Amino acid sequence: MNRPPAPPADLPPPSPKLTEGWHCLHLYYRVDQAAWRQLTPDQRHDGCEAVAHLLDPERPGAPQRVQTSVVSGHKADLALMIMDPDPLLIDGLRQGIRASELGTVLIPSYSFVSITEVSEYVPTVEQYAARLQQDGIGPDNPAYAPRLKAYEQRLPMMNKQRLYPDFPDWPATCFYPMNKARHPLANWYTEPFSVRTQLMAEHANSGMKFAGKVSQLITASTGLDDWEWGVTLWGRTPQFIKDIVYAMRFDTASARYAEFGPFYISYILPPAEALAHLQLT
């Protein structure tokens, strides 16, 4: 009898939690005004209190990150971004909203499931050293050692932010999903890794020009949702979000190979203020 091979001994135990990084859920709701009108004043009050409590990032048992914002435009009214090691804790917040008095009022209109990751295109220290030399900055150059040392020191902090991000205290946020193209004349997945790495380095350099203006988080969704990545941007002002998206579209990685889904722009508010903005009081 043929038996399946034994699994490797170093496999982690079965778990919905990740070995590193967090699960991420972007969740969008629209307000059903007819359902709101059917609630009694007490139901409205209790529902708003319950939802505001669920969305409080400081409450005991809350997911690691909970962000509430109000959406500009007709696609949705309320936006949530939730992150935690446990996807069931994230889903518990969604189910809590559904089970509340506002469950018939807040109707899900869009969601996106993803996880944090350190991209394969983030250079290691050794790859960064090779890139410096490709740029003409070799070991005999006085700038070589300081630049390499600086990168070595900041790489762990950058990777920690990619896996366990802190959200900036800025008012505007934008989310959109994206793919890399598989067109016969522009197929990202048939390009050599060296070419893809070079294109992503160019793309990253464009983004660095917006340091202090825009913060970005890329989460991975291959096998988890209909798109391959989710892009979340935070801006000091909405203008900076528009500027970075426009500027980076001229990079070859974007201009030739990127496919974009719907864009959601929203403005961050505490939960109770967000509900009041939606006139759910």
Catalytic sites, residue numbers: 176
What is the distance between the alpha carbons of residues 188 and 257, in angstroms, rounded to a whole number?
6
For 126-132, the CB contacts below 8 A with 24+ separation are 131/201
Q: Which of 10, 31, 6, 9 is nearest to 19 (CA)?
A: 10
Q: What is the DSSP string of 193-233?
A: HHHHHHHHHHHHHHHHTTTTTEEEEEEE-TTTSSSSEEEEE
Residue with tokens 């390009």: 191
What is the distance between the alpha carbons of residues 124 and 155, in angstroms, rounded to a whole number?
8
Q: Is the dihedral of CA 10, 11, 17, 20 positive or negative?
A: positive
- H/E segment holding residue 266: strand 264-268
Which residues contact residue 140 at a Cβ distance below 8 angstroms, ignoring those fewer than 6 apart? Answer: none
